Structure 1
Amino acid sequence: MHYSVILNPTAGNGRAASIGKKIQEHLTQANADFDLQSTKDESSARYFAHRLSQSHDASDTTVIVIGGDGTLHDVLNGLKEDANRQQEPLPLAYIPASGLSRFARAYGISANPDDALQQILAANTTTNIAIGRCHDAIKDEDNYFLNSVGIGFDAAMISQAGRQRRRRHFRWGHFSFLLHSLAVLYDQQPFQLMLTQHQHRTPYPKAYLVVVNNHPFTDSGIQLTSSTGLHKPSLDLTIAERRGWPLTFWQLRQFYRGKLPTSRFASHFTGSRFHCTTTSLEFSQIDGEERGNRFIDLEFRIDHYPFRQTPLTSSTH
């Protein structure tokens, strides 16, 4: 087996660089056949994935990503763009640069890099996991996601969290969550959302929070109790509307506790296909990556991708 390693040395506040050195040493000691490429900018990971998919065969190559969920997202999308040109897509494996990885928690990947590597080396077969496909009808482009897509409040909160991390004093406690929630809601206006599912259209005239999940761990750091997992062919959609400040406070509290999908003050759907549109410019995010302010015309579907990594058992992660 050949291992093609894509390393983002800046991930995890630079921790990924030292992780990459240790992984190289372990692979060399194990007499593994491998090569390593380090990203230089935001487009490098996807570019490397393109090159690998065009020059390697899925039967004897595994792509190992060392970095954050954003790096994994970029590599996945680079590989998926070329997947239709080959018989099988190149399997993925992941070594997270920090313990904050939502995907690692959902899949069962150790936060310890050495253990995560052993999970890769121990894998004899691939496992097809569920991923989300997000088609932007306005731009006519596809984007694949492993964790979640957020529109409105969720995307704005991720933007807030990113600014706090850059200032190196980010902590998502109950009080700080509510404090930043108020700041976000002060600037955010409710928007008109149209949901189409099974050819049935449902309007939400005062939507402010829309989250599509591939598994329970959202990119905003919330664990939603009713969300599906990576081995179930379905997505979760949660929509909340503004109905006065007291109720909004209650919704936010339930969202922080992961109980909003099961609340009667929100709409929750499970399915393999959704279509969401807005009549106004709204913030959005995909796998924690901000996508700016834009009109929303997104169709969500279930897709699959092979991973070559033995997951931890539920009792060990």
Structure 2
Amino acid sequence: MGKTKPTFLMIVNQFAGAGQAQSNWQKIEVQLKERKVNYETKLTDHPGHGIQIARDFALRHKYDNEWVVVAVGGDGTLHEVLNGLHQGGGDHIPLGYIPAGSGNDFARGVNLPTQPLVAMQKLLAVQKPTLLDVGVYQNRLDSHETLFTNNVGIGFDASVVHAANAGQKDHLRKYHLQSSAYVSSLIKTFFKQKSFGLRVKADQASQQFNRAFLVTTTNIKYFGGGGAHHADC
């Protein structure tokens, strides 16, 4: 990260990976202290908190080049921190990632170690940032832009996620007790979801679909916990 040692802001989602991130973070913190790394810690405690923490940090450190922000958690945690930095004008701030979730698709997609301690060791050895592509989509209703590292979907899968999140109580979301909510939402959405018209433009070509049901755009070759592999699609 340069000649001077950076200070790391560790944004930690302890509830990622069905709670395993908490024990992983404790081990990582021991390593940071043993190696006398300069760092500060911010713990997320509700969905969207990572966006708020990263945005507030970026607003305070727009012109500071001595920090590295590190997301510790799953793909959702990385997504929140990335967008928080972007919203706060902190696109220039280096962003690190310690995968501690259940799927860790982004780590697989960019060949990062999926073991948190190994990933931390690799991060500390980095001398300069690596530029990676991210996607961006715009909500045409309010022109709001959102960045994504993994994928963005519309149709059936997006409806299932939206229904599951909307139907859960905060304390269930906090502790990621979501399986039954997703199964219930999947069944309900399957019978309610209608097809829709879709036009896709890419490389000056355009294709029209009259009955689309599920559409996903990917930035990496994995999604769904690594179970779906689309390198050849």
Whether TM-score is above 0.5 comes out as yes
TM-score, normalised via structure 1 length: 0.60
Among 4, 9, 13, the alignment partner of 2:9 is 4
Paired with 1:3 and 1:182, the residues of 2 have a C-alpha distance of 43
1:166 aligns with 2:177: yes
TM-score, normalised via structure 2 length: 0.80
- Structure 2 equivalent of residue 287 of structure 1: none
What SS does the corresponding residue of 2:36 show, helix, strand or coil? Answer: coil
Q: Partner letter of residue 177 of structure 2?
A: R
Q: Unpaired segments of 5 or more residues in structure 1?
A: 170-175, 227-260, 262-317
Q: Partner letter of residue 116 of structure 1?
A: A
Paired with 2:187 and 2:15, the residues of 1 have a C-alpha distance of 31
- Structure 2 equivalent of residue 146 of structure 1: 149
Alpha-carbon distance, 1:55 to partner: 2.8
- Structure 2 equivalent of residue 42 of structure 1: 47
What SS does the corresponding residue of 1:49 show, helix, strand or coil? Answer: helix
Distance 1:137 1:168, change over 3 A: closer
What SS does the corresponding residue of 2:133 show, helix, strand or coil? Answer: strand
What SS does the corresponding residue of 2:208 show, helix, strand or coil? Answer: strand
Alpha-carbon distance, 1:136 to partner: 1.1
Alpha-carbon distance, 1:187 to partner: 3.8
Distance 1:157 1:46, change over 3 A: closer
Q: Unpaired segments of 5 or more residues in structure 2?
A: 1-5, 169-175
Alpha-carbon distance, 1:200 to partner: 5.8
- Structure 2 equivalent of residue 73 of structure 1: 79
Among 52, 66, 70, the alignment partner of 1:64 is 70
1:225 aligns with 2:225: no
Report if aligned partners of 2:153, 2:216 keep a CA contact under 8 Å in 1. Answer: yes
Report if aligned partners of 1:133, 1:143 keep a CA contact under 8 Å in 2. Answer: yes
What SS does the corresponding residue of 1:127 show, helix, strand or coil? Answer: coil
Q: Partner letter of residue 37 of structure 2?
A: A
What SS does the corresponding residue of 1:124 show, helix, strand or coil? Answer: coil
Among 131, 134, 137, the alignment partner of 1:134 is 137
Report if aligned partners of 1:132, 1:144 keep a CA contact under 8 Å in 2. Answer: yes
Distance 1:167 1:78, change over 3 A: closer
Alignment of 1:66-145 (within 5 A): 66-83=72-89, 89-145=92-148
Distance 1:198 1:109, change over 3 A: closer
Paired with 2:143 and 2:162, the residues of 1 have a C-alpha distance of 25
Alpha-carbon distance, 1:207 to partner: 1.0
Question: How many aligned positions are there?
Answer: 215
Answer 1 or 2: which has greater helix percent: 2
Answer 1 or 2: which has greater strand percent: 1
Q: Partner letter of residue 104 of structure 2?
A: S
Distance 1:126 1:191, change over 3 A: same
Alignment of 1:241-280 (within 5 A): 261=233
Q: Partner letter of residue 138 of structure 2?
A: H
Q: Cα deviations across residues 246-282 of structure 1 (Å, max 9, x unaligned)?
A: xxxxxxxxxxxxxxx3xxxxxxxxxxxxxxxxxxxxx
Distance 1:54 1:189, change over 3 A: closer
Among 191, 194, 198, the alignment partner of 1:189 is 194
Paired with 2:231 and 2:164, the residues of 1 have a C-alpha distance of 22
Cα RMSD after superposing both structures: 2.9
Paired with 1:74 and 1:41, the residues of 2 have a C-alpha distance of 11
Report if aligned partners of 1:150, 1:212 keep a CA contact under 8 Å in 2. Answer: yes
Q: Partner letter of residue 79 of structure 1?
A: L
